[in-house]
Amino acid sequence: AARDRFIEVASIDGDLANGDTVVLDDGVAGFEEYAQVGYIDATLKRLWFRTPLRFAHAATTGTVQEVTLTFRQEGVNYTLDPSTGTITSLVAFTNGNAVVMSYRTDGAFGWFRGAGDTLQAFYVPPINDSPDLEASWGDWSGLEYVSGTYSASVWGRKNALLGLQNEVQTYNGIGEASVASLLYGDATEFEPHALVSSGANCETCHTMVGPFHGGNRRDFNTCVLCHGVAGNEDWPRYGTTVAGQDTTGVTIDFRGMLHKIHMGEELANAETYTVLGNSASAHQYGEVVFPATGRAMACTKCHGDSENWFAPSAREHPDQALPTRAWRSACGACHDSDSAGAHFDAMTSGGTESCEVCHGEGTEFSVEIVHKIR
């Protein structure tokens, strides 16, 4: 389907390898596209691609051909008229060869061509998207934008080189993220994204958030650019050739990941929880001890004065077919034992969670009560 990252084929040529480029629906107008192979699953006969597919491809399309791309640079090999999109070659491309363009456009708010060539706004796939985490986990890929408050953020960094005594040291100058809110659709009032009362809460323990990601990030607002989106996953199979590193269904969404990290050694399955970071570096947290009094039960240590932790917020799109696992994604991050998993399953009927009957606000076993430090 469009926006998927893989196709399944009847057979795979043994010469095909990670990093190769293939063409799908070669010569079919409106469907021909090029993609780089990121991972080959020989068992399932599945080709994973580094980028999402632009179009849907039918099962009867035919062969997927490996191609060789030769880089051509604007101003050296060709000129481009931005107003018309006209390309004029300065050095011949050679007759019969396809021209594959890679380009960036001016910023836009998610508009895409839909059915009947109408403009529609669809959510793009989350980071490192795969079928492992779908709509029930908050992945809204391909669904239309809903009215509400959205945030636009930007951050930057600059490398400073210091040469002294025949050595050169590199220091990162990191800027905090600037955030601007905007209203979309029928929304008339801004609703803040206040899962925690302040990003400064993190610094009571970490002192400075900057050391994460090799010192290339600085503040909470920068973190949530990636880690605040439901459905975001850790480093994927199609992004690495490291053997044996397959963390199926592991999210980098803070709702799940931060709860697990801070639970640390108290997780029932602490030694098997692995997150693949950039370049497939494996991170485990089985020896982490949350220093707060009450350990991971101390929700206010991170959430502060916010009361959003009293119950997980819903992430259900009005057009999605699957109900969201709001309670399981948040509470199941810490309560990860087999018996807890069976309890989640038992309290889910037809995909609908009934957790709030016992654990909702004002109930006998509400989150606020059971997390009270005693």
Task: Give the integer Cα–Cα distance in Å for 64 and 26.
Answer: 8
Residue at token pair 């077919």: 321
Structure-token pair, residue 130: 């795969």
| Greater pLDDT, 211 or 233 | 233
pTM: 0.83
Structure-token pair, residue 177: 């993220």
pLDDT at 97: 82
Task: Give the integer Cα–Cα distance in Å for 260 and 62.
Answer: 45
Question: Over the stretch 234-255, which tens digit does the pLDDT of each residue have?
Answer: 988 787 655 456 788 899 999 9
Element (H, E) at 351: none
pLDDT of residue 332 exceeding 90, the answer is yes
First vs last Cα of the chain: how many Å apart? 52
HEC sequence for 284-325 = ECCCCCCCCCCHHHCCHHHHCCCCHHHCCCCCCCCCCCCCCC
- Which pLDDT band holds residue 155 (cuts at 50, 70, 90)? confident
pLDDT at 318: 93
CB-based contact 39:244 (threshold 8 Å): no
Residue whose C-alpha is closest to residue 332's, from 231, 257, 277, 272 = 257
- Which pLDDT band holds residue 256 (cuts at 50, 70, 90)? very high
Q: What are the percentages of helix, strand and coil residues in the chain, rounded to 5?
A: 20, 20, 55
Ranges 70-79, 192-201, 271-280, most confident? 70-79
Question: Over the stretch 212-227, which tens digit does the pLDDT of each residue have?
Answer: 787 788 888 888 888 9
The angle that helices 326-334 and 254-263 make with each other, rounded to 10 degrees, is 20
DSSP state of 109: S
Non-local CB neighbours of 43 within 8 Å, separated by 6+ positions: none
Residue whose C-alpha is closest to residue 41's, from 91, 72, 7 = 7
pLDDT of residue 23 exceeding 90, the answer is yes
pLDDT at 152: 87
pLDDT at 115: 55
- Which pLDDT band holds residue 28 (cuts at 50, 70, 90)? confident
Q: Taking every pair of C-alpha atoms in the chain, what is the biggest distance, in angstroms? A: 78
pLDDT of residue 62 exceeding 70, the answer is no
CB-based contact 72:261 (threshold 8 Å): no
Strand segments (E) across the chain: 6-8, 21-24, 33-41, 46-49, 65-67, 78-81, 86-89, 111-113, 119-121, 148-154, 157-164, 167-174, 178-184, 274-276, 282-284, 348-349, 352-353
Residue at token pair 């391909």: 142
Q: How many CB atoms lie within 10 A of CB 186?
A: 8
Question: Over the stretch 276-320, which tens digit does the pLDDT of each residue have?
Answer: 887 778 899 999 999 989 999 999 999 998 898 999 988 899 999
Which amino acid, 10? A
pLDDT at 112: 59
Q: What is the mean pLDDT of the chain?
A: 87
pLDDT at 210: 67
